[in-house]
Structure 1
Amino acid sequence: MQSAVRYPELNGASVLITGGGSGIGAALTEGFARQGSRVAFLDIAEDASIELCTRVEAETGIRPLFLKTDVRDVAALKASIARAAEVHGTITVLVNNAAWDQRHDLEEMTVEYWENNQSINLRPHAFSAQAVAPGMRRAGGGSIINFTSTSYLINHPDMPSYTAAKAGIVGLTKGLAGLLGKDNIRVNAIAPGWVITERQRKLWVTEESLAAHVAKQCIKDVMVPDDMVGPVLFLASNASRMLTAQTLIVDGGVL
């Protein structure tokens, strides 16, 4: 269920979401559209993204702007961000959501695998922020929200490159917050627990593993992508105007 809270300042705001075509990103795209925001999102999956745009438009009257982009290509990433600003106006909310949580063995990890993994899970966060910061500065401020993960906090054993990237996002968030705070640009991170997306169900969820995880949560319910919408809207809105350099853990109370 999407958040029912309305933030008037997000109505008409230019918002950019990376990885906004599926999973958590799709819920965020819909969530900002329901606020009346001018939403642009980057994704590599064309068919699913177009379907999302059509559904969101039918339900909200607002069609998100889909820009097919491989975030590993920094030049393409910057070009798409520039295009979003050209169509929707200066971007004042950036959500760095794109990620690739593939499991991998330490023994089989190559330099090429490591570099590719980091080019999806960490590097785009930095260069997306670099691309939007000048416009936010001219606009008098903005909000950058970086998705990290609780995986590196719970010693997840199956994806060392991914968890390294997710820890790095926290450091990047704090460094950018210190750098950009003087320009009224807030930079925060969200660390989800196990959010059960279609991808998770297809690849890793079993009845037993899900029950065991929910048992660790204080709130005994399955987390879904919509559960990330409220926290992101809060961090994007003026309700959090003095909140920066923080990591908000949304995991049902596991930690």
Structure 2
Amino acid sequence: MANIQSLDPSASPLDYYGWELRRQREAHGLKQHQLGEIIFCTGSLIGQIETTKKIPTRDFSERVDAALGTDGVFSRLMGLVLRSQLPTWFQPYADMEARAAYISTFQAQLVYGLLQTEGYARALVGVDHPNRVDEMTAARLDRQRVLGRENPPALWIVLSEAALLQEVGGRDVMHEQLARLLAFRNDPWVQIQVLPFTVGQHTAMMGSFNLLRFDDDPDLFYVESYDQSHMTANPSVIKERSVGYARLQATALSPEDSATLIARVMEERYGDQS
């Protein structure tokens, strides 16, 4: 069990958060239960966060900042804390994704992380990380904040029909997930196309991949396997995959027809069948 006295604030963003929370609380002469009363939570939760047993939330951090007058310190730390909960091999991509001006992705089996619902994400994370579902799901959902920026990235998704039919988390979760996809129909920065099974062989049979474009940096190609990832700015790879992605876009259903298919699957496969 972690001991707050032995926490090394330089060990990780989460350790620093817990260490700083205790330092600030004690500097204000507050016991854990007293701070909890001020920000409407239990003293036990304060203790769990101070000892890195619990991941703080953005709402918690904002309330702590307001209560202790820390000028947004804990709110700013949250990005680092949540990013640190992502798999180590995935973090470099997450950093690039947050900076990208244009994201193109082909997804062979799953809904892309930026559009996943909480239920869908929790079901996926729980398969291999049942003891870290809360923190890893929070980290995944936090990536979606880029879509709410004043100048969000343009996001183009080509989604295999398999992703609509692969039941993740149960029928209710899938119904909610497909409804979320449909919610982006009128979003000017998000385009979703479905690649139907009827197209047969295609240029992405090897699996999912992403292309990132930046305002001032070279394009990046990204692909991942079970426990590692590969990211490159090699011009020949970028050219080949960019052409391949354009062919996927041309082969896939239009955004309008894709929405029609998503809605049909949502109701016929995951709707109320009582």
> Does the pair score TM above 0.5?
no
Higher relative contact order (Cα pairs below 8 Å, separated by 6+ residues): 1
Larger of the two Rg values belongs to structure: 2
